[in-house]
Amino acid sequence: MQTPKDKLLWMYEKMVEIRNYEETMANVYLEGKLPPNIQAGLAFDIGSGPVPGEMHLAAGQEPVAVGICAHLKQDDTVVGTHRPHHFAIAKGVPLNPMTAEMFGKVTGLGKGKGGHMHLFDPVHKFSCSGLIGASLPPACGAGLAAKKLGKDWVAVAFFGEGAANQGAVHESLNLAALWQLPVIFVCEDNKWAISVPKTSATSIEWVADRASAYGMPGIKVAHNDAVEVYEAVAPAIARARSGKGPSLIEVKTDRYLGHFQGDPEVYRPKDEVTNLRKNDPIPKLAAQLKSAGQMTDAEEAAIVARARQRVADAFAFARKSDYPAPQEALQHVFA
């Protein structure tokens, strides 16, 4: 298929925005967490600084999010993982309240009480979870709702290859196929489940090969390429919207950063990330657009400037926002 120019430019701008967001967060997250700003004897304090708690970033994995979300509409549902920002940004979740949520501010999506692994935006039909494999059951629920309402909405469940062996994953695949739900299951295969390589945890090379066991198509995307993802997922989206049921897609992608910020990454070969970055999908798409006469240097500069400004504005908004009042500690939470 021929990818429309407007989709190509949108994917490029969103990838630039996501990368800049993740790199900015990587720096901001470390503020106040390292010596000499923390308790003596500690090497790292996860609770200190403006962004407390764990932080999982997705630099390098942008093509998976934009290639799929470029097909989606406002009424479609996306359920992300514990590494959720690229999905959220690609789905249209506003940066200001999303960032404020991670800062623990009252202007956040969850009034500052959920943090980065519990982003929830009902307007843009996005949510995520810190539980491994937990994205699939809610996506099935959204797919069932769409089917019962007679809508052509689809639901997308993203999960990592490390989650592929969880029971909830298999239960969801089976249920979606049995009930012919409009769900797209997307496995982001970045080769590492925390510090465990895929080869040590999964008996097959492609998780997508399991699709046939559930009676649904399995689609393999071998390269970390936004256009390749966009074109590969199109039949699955069309299938779901037309009431023909779910599909399982697996994309080979790259995780440039650690499992979490502060991860010493001693399990990785020393030159792995350097080699991965040689095939960075963002400059690759820029070169493709320029060679095809679909983007000039001036247009690229404008795109990058816009994306960076949105990110800068979001972090400024989060920093200046207020924290929740102490008397609100038990409001807007589940117990």
Using the Cα atoms of residue 275, residue 278, residue 279 and residue 282 in order, give the sign of their dihedral.
Answer: positive
pLDDT higher than threshold 90 for residue 2: no
- Mean pLDDT, range 288-312, rounded to an integer: 98
- Mean pLDDT, range 88-105, rounded to an integer: 98
pLDDT higher than threshold 70 for residue 293: yes
pLDDT per residue as tens digits for the range 48-59 = 999 999 999 999
Stated length of the chain: 335
- Mean pLDDT, range 287-298, rounded to an integer: 97
- Mean pLDDT, range 13-24, rounded to an integer: 98
pLDDT higher than threshold 70 for residue 139: yes
Q: What is the pLDDT of residue 182?
A: 98
pLDDT higher than threshold 70 for residue 62: yes
pLDDT per residue as tens digits for the range 208-250 = 999 999 999 999 999 999 999 999 999 999 999 999 999 999 9
The residues, ordered by sequence, that sit 6+ positions from 149 with a Cβ below 8 Å of its Cβ are none
Quick one: pLDDT band at residue 335, thresholds 50, 70, 90? low
pLDDT per residue as tens digits for the range 154-185 = 999 999 999 999 999 999 999 999 999 999 99
Q: C-alpha distances in angstroms, 219 versus 16, 81, 191, 247?
A: 26, 20, 18, 8
For residues 164 and 207, the answer to whether their CB atoms sit within 8 Å is: yes
Q: What is the pLDDT of residue 332?
A: 87
Can you tell me the distance from the alpha carbon of 122 to that of 78, in angstroms, rounded to the nearest whole number? 10
- The CA radius of gyration of the chain, in Å to the nearest whole number, is 20
pLDDT higher than threshold 90 for residue 1: no
Q: What is the pLDDT of residue 81?
A: 97
Q: In the chain, what are the helix, strand and coil shares in percent, each to the nearest 5?
A: 45, 10, 45
Can you tell me the distance from the alpha carbon of 22 to that of 273, in angstroms, rounded to the nearest whole number? 16
pLDDT per residue as tens digits for the range 262-281 = 999 999 999 999 999 999 99
Q: C-alpha distances in angstroms, 190 versus 84, 150, 257, 276?
A: 14, 36, 11, 11
Can you tell me the distance from the alpha carbon of 247 to that of 253, in angstroms, rounded to the nearest whole number? 19
DSSP β-ladder status, 192-193 and 196-197? antiparallel
Burial grade of 148 (CB within 10 A; 0-12, 13-18, 19 or more): exposed
